[in-house]
Amino acid sequence: MIILTSLVSGIMILAGLVFFLGGSIGMIRLPDFYSRLHSAGMLDTMGLMLTMGGMALYIIHDLTLNNVLSALKIILIVVFIFITSPTATHAIVDAGIRAGMKPWRKRGSEAGK
């Protein structure tokens, strides 16, 4: 049983690290501010969900009250991030639009709307 939970939580933590790496690389490679926000805001949230889920699963391998409470708190952090991450992303995009930044367009496609 403990081997199984350790295996699953280890796989989840490693998958979360892959998403964190993807989000970080996207922030360097993508061409403009708006498209960088796609990778920065969203892939990081997914990575956080996976790593936190893995650690919450690992912490309840021996069932005591304290450990269950800790796992519940980790889940609450994930829920909090899930609600606030779109709000923060939208606030940054809104500031960009109001400041008048033009979104990057691919060369050859028709000019913006």
Among residue numbers 20 through 39, which ones bind other proteins (CB under 8 A)? Answer: 20-39
Residue that the structure tokens 């403009």 belong to: 32
User: Which run of H or E residues covers position 92?
Assistant: helix 65-98
Q: Answer yes or no whether residue 89 interacts with other proteins by CB under 8 A.
A: yes
Q: Answer yes or no whether residue 57 interacts with other proteins by CB under 8 A.
A: no
**Which is it for the CA torsion 66, 67, 69, 73, positive or negative?**
positive
Dist CA 64 CA 27 (whole Å):
41
Q: How many residues bind other proteins (CB under 8 A)?
A: 79
Q: Answer yes or no whether residue 53 interacts with other proteins by CB under 8 A.
A: no
Dist CA 70 CA 9 (whole Å):
16
Q: Answer yes or no whether residue 42 interacts with other proteins by CB under 8 A.
A: yes
CB of 81 to other proteins, least distance (A): 6
CB of 1 to other proteins, least distance (A): 14
